[in-house]
Structure 1
Amino acid sequence: MSDLSLLGISGSLRAASTNRLLIRAAARHFDPASFIEAEIDFPIYNGDLEDKGIPDAVTLLGRQIDEADAVIISTPEYNKGLSGGLKNALDWVSRLEGNPWRDKPVAIMSAASGVAGGARGQSMLRTLLNPFRPHVIPGPEVMVGQTSKQWNEDGTLANEGTHKFLGELMSELRKVAEARSA
Structure 2
Amino acid sequence: MKIIALSGALRRASYNTALLRAAIKLAPAGVTIELRTLHGIPLYDGDLEAEGIPAAVTELREAIRAADALLIATPEYNNSIPGVLKNGLDWLSRPSGEGAKLFGGKPTALVGATPGGFGTVQSQDALLSVLRSFGNDFWMAGRLMVSKAGTVFDADGQLVDDKARELLQQFVAGFAGFVKARAK
- TM above 0.5: yes
Which of 18, 23, 27 pairs up with 1:21?
18
- Give every structure 1 segment of 4 or more consecutive aligned residues whose post-TM-superposition deviation is greater than 4 Å: none
- CA distance in structure 2 between the partners assigned to 1:166 and 1:113 by the alignment: 17
Find out whether 1:148 has 2:150 as its counterpart: yes
Superposed CA deviations along residues 113-171 of structure 1, whole A, max 9, x for unmatched, are 21012111111111111011111111432111121121135533222332232222212
Matches within 5 A, 1:1-182: 4-32=1-29, 33-41=31-39, 42-96=41-95, 97=98, 99-153=101-155, 155-182=157-184
Structure 1 length as normaliser, TM-score?
A: 0.90
Structure 2 length as normaliser, TM-score?
A: 0.89
Unaligned runs of 5+ in 1: none
CA distance 1:19–1:58, shift in 2 (3 Å): same
Report the identity percentage.
35
Q: Cα RMSD (Å) of the superposition? A: 1.7
Superposition deviation, residue 81 in structure 1: 0.6
8 Å contact kept, 1:70–1:173: no
- How many residue pairs match? The answer is 179
Unaligned runs of 5+ in 2: none
Superposed CA deviations along residues 13-72 of structure 1, whole A, max 9, x for unmatched, are 112211011011122232333332113121111111100001011111111111111211
